[in-house]
Amino acid sequence: MLRENSEPDSTYAAVLVTPANGAFFQYRTAKGDATTNSESSTIETPCWVRLVRNGNTVAGFISHDGQTWNIMGESSIPLSPSITAGMALTSHRTDLPNSALFDSVAVEKTHETKVPR
Protein backbone atom coordinates (compact mmCIF):
# COMPACT_ATOMS: atom_id res chain seq x y z
CA MET A 1 0.00 0.00 0.00
CA LEU A 2 1.15 3.55 -0.79
CA ARG A 3 -0.50 6.31 1.26
CA GLU A 4 -0.27 10.08 1.40
CA ASN A 5 -0.08 9.69 5.21
CA SER A 6 -1.36 7.46 8.01
CA GLU A 7 -4.67 9.30 8.47
CA PRO A 8 -7.63 6.92 7.94
CA ASP A 9 -9.12 8.98 5.08
CA SER A 10 -5.91 9.80 3.18
CA THR A 11 -5.34 9.17 -0.52
CA TYR A 12 -3.80 5.79 -1.27
CA ALA A 13 -3.32 2.92 -3.69
CA ALA A 14 -3.01 -0.78 -2.88
CA VAL A 15 -2.97 -4.20 -4.45
CA LEU A 16 -5.04 -6.44 -2.20
CA VAL A 17 -5.46 -10.22 -2.15
CA THR A 18 -8.39 -11.84 -0.36
CA PRO A 19 -9.56 -15.46 -0.10
CA ALA A 20 -13.16 -14.54 -0.94
CA ASN A 21 -12.70 -11.79 -3.55
CA GLY A 22 -9.41 -12.59 -5.31
CA ALA A 23 -6.94 -9.83 -6.10
CA PHE A 24 -7.72 -6.23 -6.99
CA PHE A 25 -6.27 -2.72 -7.23
CA GLN A 26 -7.93 -0.31 -4.77
CA TYR A 27 -7.41 3.44 -4.47
CA ARG A 28 -8.72 6.75 -3.13
CA THR A 29 -7.95 9.81 -5.25
CA ALA A 30 -9.02 12.51 -2.79
CA LYS A 31 -8.89 12.78 1.00
CA GLY A 32 -12.12 11.47 2.50
CA ASP A 33 -13.60 10.23 -0.78
CA ALA A 34 -14.89 6.71 -1.33
CA THR A 35 -12.50 4.02 -2.51
CA THR A 36 -12.54 2.51 -5.99
CA ASN A 37 -11.76 -1.13 -6.80
CA SER A 38 -10.62 -2.58 -10.08
CA GLU A 39 -12.32 -5.70 -11.32
CA SER A 40 -11.09 -8.63 -9.24
CA SER A 41 -8.89 -11.35 -10.62
CA THR A 42 -8.54 -14.88 -9.30
CA ILE A 43 -5.05 -15.87 -8.22
CA GLU A 44 -3.64 -18.62 -6.09
CA THR A 45 -1.57 -17.72 -3.07
CA PRO A 46 1.20 -17.30 -2.40
CA CYS A 47 1.56 -14.60 -5.01
CA TRP A 48 3.54 -11.44 -5.68
CA VAL A 49 2.07 -7.90 -5.65
CA ARG A 50 3.67 -4.69 -6.87
CA LEU A 51 2.83 -0.99 -6.87
CA VAL A 52 4.68 1.38 -9.19
CA ARG A 53 4.48 5.14 -8.80
CA ASN A 54 5.47 7.53 -11.57
CA GLY A 55 4.66 11.08 -10.47
CA ASN A 56 0.96 10.99 -9.60
CA THR A 57 0.24 7.81 -11.55
CA VAL A 58 0.15 4.62 -9.50
CA ALA A 59 -0.22 1.21 -11.12
CA GLY A 60 -0.89 -2.10 -9.38
CA PHE A 61 0.37 -5.48 -10.58
CA ILE A 62 0.13 -9.13 -9.58
CA SER A 63 2.28 -12.13 -10.47
CA HIS A 64 2.30 -15.89 -9.95
CA ASP A 65 6.10 -16.09 -10.10
CA GLY A 66 7.58 -12.62 -9.45
CA GLN A 67 8.76 -12.45 -13.08
CA THR A 68 5.67 -12.03 -15.27
CA TRP A 69 3.45 -9.17 -14.12
CA ASN A 70 -0.22 -8.55 -14.93
CA ILE A 71 -1.63 -5.07 -14.44
CA MET A 72 -4.59 -4.86 -12.08
CA GLY A 73 -5.25 -1.16 -12.67
CA GLU A 74 -3.82 2.32 -12.50
CA SER A 75 -5.01 5.74 -11.42
CA SER A 76 -3.89 9.33 -11.16
CA ILE A 77 -3.61 10.03 -7.43
CA PRO A 78 -2.25 13.33 -6.11
CA LEU A 79 0.57 12.33 -3.75
CA SER A 80 3.33 14.42 -2.24
CA PRO A 81 6.97 13.47 -2.90
CA SER A 82 7.22 11.87 0.56
CA ILE A 83 4.62 9.13 1.17
CA THR A 84 4.09 6.13 3.45
CA ALA A 85 4.62 2.64 2.02
CA GLY A 86 3.90 -0.65 3.71
CA MET A 87 2.02 -3.91 3.87
CA ALA A 88 -1.70 -3.90 4.71
CA LEU A 89 -3.72 -6.59 6.49
CA THR A 90 -7.25 -6.63 7.88
CA SER A 91 -9.99 -9.07 8.76
CA HIS A 92 -12.62 -6.31 8.42
CA ARG A 93 -13.96 -7.42 11.80
CA THR A 94 -12.94 -6.03 15.18
CA ASP A 95 -13.75 -9.34 16.90
CA LEU A 96 -11.71 -11.50 14.49
CA PRO A 97 -7.94 -11.06 14.37
CA ASN A 98 -6.08 -11.92 11.18
CA SER A 99 -2.53 -12.92 10.32
CA ALA A 100 -0.39 -13.25 7.21
CA LEU A 101 3.22 -13.87 6.28
CA PHE A 102 4.88 -11.28 4.06
CA ASP A 103 8.33 -11.98 2.65
CA SER A 104 10.63 -10.59 -0.03
CA VAL A 105 9.36 -7.08 0.75
CA ALA A 106 11.27 -4.21 -0.87
CA VAL A 107 10.74 -0.49 -1.37
CA GLU A 108 12.81 0.95 -4.18
CA LYS A 109 13.19 4.53 -5.31
CA THR A 110 14.25 4.79 -8.92
CA HIS A 111 14.13 7.39 -11.61
CA GLU A 112 12.96 4.82 -14.11
CA THR A 113 9.62 5.66 -15.70
CA LYS A 114 8.97 2.27 -17.30
CA VAL A 115 6.13 0.30 -15.74
CA PRO A 116 6.62 -3.49 -15.85
CA ARG A 117 4.14 -5.22 -18.15
Mind listing the pLDDT tens digit for each residue in 48-104? Answer: 999 999 999 999 999 999 999 999 999 999 999 999 999 988 877 889 888 888 888
Task: Give the pLDDT of residue 22.
Answer: 86
User: Contacts from 53-60 at CB under 8 Å and sequence distance 24+?
Assistant: 53/2, 53/13, 53/79, 53/83, 54/113, 54/115, 58/2, 58/13, 58/27, 59/25, 59/115, 60/13, 60/14, 60/15, 60/25
Task: Give the pLDDT of residue 116.
Answer: 55
pTM, 2 dp: 0.85
Task: Give the pLDDT of residue 6.
Answer: 93
